[in-house]
Structure 1
Amino acid sequence: MMSKLKHGQLFFVVFAILLFLSPIVAFGRIGVGVGTGKIQVDKPLKAGGIYSLPALPVLNTGDEYSEYGVSVEYHEGVSQIRPQREWFRFEPQSFSLDPGQVQLVKVTITLPAKIQPGDYFAYLEGHPIKKSVSGQTSIGVAAAAKLYFTIAPSNIIQGIYYRFISLYDRYHPWDTIILTVIFIAIASRFIGKRFKFKVARR
């Protein structure tokens, strides 16, 4: 009986010493949330168009500082068409958040001039990006908003036209300034040639 007691006490003492000497490790909880569950574009989008979608709020719901990213994801078994990932641009693409902090991510979609009309669906996903020991990124939990939109029927000519209109609306008045400079340069060159021609005739 005493032998068993001594062995038990010895085990407890060794365990206490190891626990005391071991470094104390605190495991934080990494979490993410999005401020909206659904983004529905009511009006049909046009091929070739460039559109600004509603911003996606990404929230750090965990209790530690973490780096986050945004991406387009899909699920199997949906009837809608999948939009291509390269159509989307997120600003910022990646960012860091303290616990409880929110980042509004701007979402822009650029549609090709030639595209299949119909109903489209995808997930706009926010996720924490964890660095592994090797330095590679690994994605853990995620939260996503459902994105629904429709592409109106059109031909390639209409797609090119709507791309031009979208670029004009987005970069105006810089495009007007550039066109004005080009026009002045061409006009100056033309007038210069005419002036030299008249001088030569004299």
Structure 2
Amino acid sequence: MISLYRPGDSVLHRLPAGVKILAFAVIAVAVSVLAASPIGLGVAAVLTICVYALGGFGPRELVRQALAIKWVVVVMLLTQLVFLPPVTALTNTGRVVVVVVLASLITLTTRVPAVLDSVERGLAPLRRLGADPAAVGLVLALTITAIPVIAGFATAIREAQRARGVRVGPHTAVVPLLVMSIKHSDELAEALAARGVQ
């Protein structure tokens, strides 16, 4: 299975997946509620750097994870600048970046099967209410796997456009990326249906 996992022996690598997921949920809520000002966002950013160091990663890896979502950040920021003051728009976008970068740290320090097992165990009590933990785990696995696959599509599109002398940019890549992503989802749906997954 494709993942971002990096082998290591740090404190975060040794923590159980369930503990990391719960800690992330608490931190994400705290960042969303408490980092509503530039000062609060600065504190959250410093803490994020410290947590990355705890996982054995330096600022370079943190920046790499942030740059991976640069287009999402650009769209969010430009959209908010239309309706909100610049400081508020920057703070809101910064909070999202901090949460996403922290979420990336889970996949950097935890194998995907361990994450899925933890989610299934955590949701097991909900079986009585009709929930299917295995189905939730499958959806999570497909989501995690789809991210690098779609990133690979984007890379292939950029390389093909460069080879043809086409000017590379978001406006020339969106339609091919959508087409390739939809085709991939159709093939995945057919494969799951062939295996009896409803």
Smaller-chain TM-score bracket? under 0.3
Determine which structure has more spread, i.e. the larger CA radius of gyration: 1
Q: Which has the higher helix share?
A: 2
Q: TM-score, normalised by structure 2?
A: 0.22
Q: Which has the higher strand share?
A: 1
